[in-house]
Each structure stands twice: as C-alpha cells, then as structure tokens.
C-alpha cells in the first residue's frame, strides 16, 4: 500500500479504523460469546465420625466413596477422617462437611446447625454398647469395677460410652465417683487399653470389635465380651441443607439400595455394615429421649 506524500501514517490508520467501525455498525454479523469452561462435577465432602483411626477409616470407607462416585453424575464425593471425636464435632459446628456419618447423639447436634437425616447406617440391633475385658480378668459382676479404670473413646460416644455408663448406673455404680473413667480418643484405643492392661474393661460397640479381631488377632484372642447394653438406633447419614434436593435424593437412593448388588455388599462388608435403611430426623427422637434420661441420672453428655 502506498501512502500519499506528506500525509501522516498514523492519521491514515486512524481513518481506516474509523471506516472499519462504521462498516461494522452498518453490517451486523454473528456475535460470539466467551467459551464456557467444560462442565465440572461439584465436590462434596463426606466426614465420618471416628469409628476407627484415620488410616483404618479410609480403608473401610473409601470403597463406598469410590462406588458412589462411579454412579452419581454431576457430583464427586471426597472422604474426610477426623483424629478424634472433638475434632469431628468441631467440623459439625463449623458446617464444613457437606455430608456426615455421625453417631446418634452427634446427629441431634448436627440437626441444630442445618443438617438433615437421609438414611440410617446399619441395623438398629447392631447399635449397642459392649464391655471388653481380658479373659483372665476374673470379672463377673459390674459391681466389681468399683474403683477400677474403664476406657471409652469419648464422653460423646453414644454406643461406646453413654450407653455403657447408663448400663453401669442401672447396675448400681456411681459413674462419677466409683470409676476411673478414661476417655482415650478412639474405639480401637478403648479396646487396646484393655489388651495392654491399662484398664480392666473397655467400652466399644460391635463393628469396631469385629474390626479389631481381624486387625489384631493375637491381642483379640486374649479378650472377650463380658456385658452388653440394649440396642438403640444406629448411626445416621446426614446432608447439609444447601445440597440440592436432586443430589440429596440421588445419594439416598444409592445408599439404601447398596445391599442389592454383589459389589455393593462387598463395600458394606468392608465397613462392617449390613445395609443402609431409609430414615429421617424424626427417627432420632428416641435418642433425644434417651439422652435426656441419661443426663438427668448420670452426667451431662458434653463433659465427663
């Protein structure tokens, strides 16, 4: 392109640009929007209360998360463990996980901050406290625990602390003055304290005891279940109120039908759980009544 002598080049460019803009205004063409990023699955965190130590919990529950992730569209679950009951309960109060698998007492606490029950994790008959003792302990009657050390995972462990303590109260023991109550952080620790002779009895509940027998067969062979409490309702599965209803229903459906496939039954076996049952907040009213009786007769749940 030739430029007339004496005509500044930048004015020529400005003139051509203006002409181009005028033509664009007069000749509308297709409008292009910025490209949208590829659709991404929403990530939801599932926090499970300390049934086991974090490593064991991941071994037991990651297959469930993997199973659900292969079947749920538009979302992806991530498993989160907690080092102890207090750590898990602080997450509930902070509303940080999207989904919870809490014990029944923690279920009541989670309802207060915006979580709702969608399922029951396990059979109600399996939710009971059991007392583990050494085979050579010589114990026969609960009254023989007077003055001795008993281990529990945490003061807020319903099946593994609250129910056993209520059982001992009904057997005539003063929990607050006649026992050395030791809260040791996890179900496995409660049992291991007995194996190591740190306590004469350890409270837990059936799934961790079954897992302990598989993981520590030598120590378990020296132990036995001496007493057990009546059953209550099992742990819940809860979803935070801001999770969309369609995703909440997809998760609930996948859980309650998990036991109907061979793959699903294998996942459940790894969690020491027979199946998930449909459930709602109202099903846990029985826990509210139970805890009220316990607190009136024994101690406040939030403290030893």
183 and 54 inside one domain: no
**Residue 249 sits in which domain range?**
42-124+233-297
251 and 105 inside one domain: yes
147 phi and psi angles, rounded to 5 deg? 80, 0
CA–CA separation, 96 and 47 (whole Å)? 9
116 and 61 inside one domain: yes
Q: Is residue 47 part of a domain?
A: yes
119 and 256 inside one domain: yes
User: pTM for the whole thing?
Assistant: 0.81
Looking up residue 182, the CATH number of its domain turns out to be 3.40.190.10
CA–CA separation, 100 and 253 (whole Å)? 16
116 and 137 inside one domain: no
250 and 218 inside one domain: no
Number of domains making up the chain: 2
pLDDT in tens, the chain (304 residues): 444 444 443 333 334 344 444 444 444 443 333 443 444 578 999 999 988 888 889 999 999 999 999 999 889 999 999 988 999 999 999 999 999 999 999 999 999 999 999 999 999 999 999 999 999 999 999 999 999 999 999 999 999 999 999 999 999 999 999 999 999 989 999 999 999 999 999 999 999 999 999 999 999 999 999 999 999 999 999 999 999 999 999 999 999 999 999 999 999 999 989 999 999 999 999 999 999 999 999 999 985 5
120 and 238 inside one domain: yes
């Amino acid at each position: 392109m030739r430029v007339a002598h004496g005509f500044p080049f930048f004015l020529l460019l400005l003139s051509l640009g203006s002409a181009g803009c005028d033509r664009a205004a007069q000749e509308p063409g297709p409008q292009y929007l910025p490209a949208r990023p590829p659709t991404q699955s929403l990530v939801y965190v599932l926090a499970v209360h300390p049934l086991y130590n974090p490593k064991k919990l991941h071994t037991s529950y990651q297959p469930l998360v993997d199973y659900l992730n292969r079947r749920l569209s538009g979302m992806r679950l991530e498993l989160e463990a907690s080092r102890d009951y207090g750590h898990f309960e602080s997450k509930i109060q902070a509303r940080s996980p999207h989904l919870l698998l809490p014990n029944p007492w923690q279920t009541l606490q989670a309802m207060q901050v915006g979580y709702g029950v969608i399922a029951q994790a396990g059979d109600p008959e399996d939710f009971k406290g059991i007392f583990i003792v050494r085979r050579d302990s010589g114990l026969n009657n609960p009254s023989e625990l007077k003055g001795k050390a008993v281990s529990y995972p945490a003061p807020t462990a319903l099946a593994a602390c609250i129910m056993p303590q209520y059982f001992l109260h009904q057997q005539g023991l003063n929990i607050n003055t006649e026992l050395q109550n030791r809260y040791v952080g996890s179900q496995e620790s409660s049992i291991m304290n007995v194996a190591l002779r740190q306590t004469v009895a350890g409270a837990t509940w059936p799934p961790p005891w079954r897992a302990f027998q598989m993981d520590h067969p030598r120590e378990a062979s020296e132990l036995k279940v001496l007493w057990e409490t009546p059953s209550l309702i099992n742990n819940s599965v809860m979803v935070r109120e801001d999770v969309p209803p369609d995703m909440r229903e997809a998760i609930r459906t996948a859980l309650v039908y998990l036991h109907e496939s061979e793959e699903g039954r294998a996942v459940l076996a790894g969690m020491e759980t027979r199946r998930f049952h449909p459930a709602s907040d109202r099903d846990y009213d029985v826990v509210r009544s139970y805890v009220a009786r316990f607190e009136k007769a024994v101690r406040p749940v939030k403290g030893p």
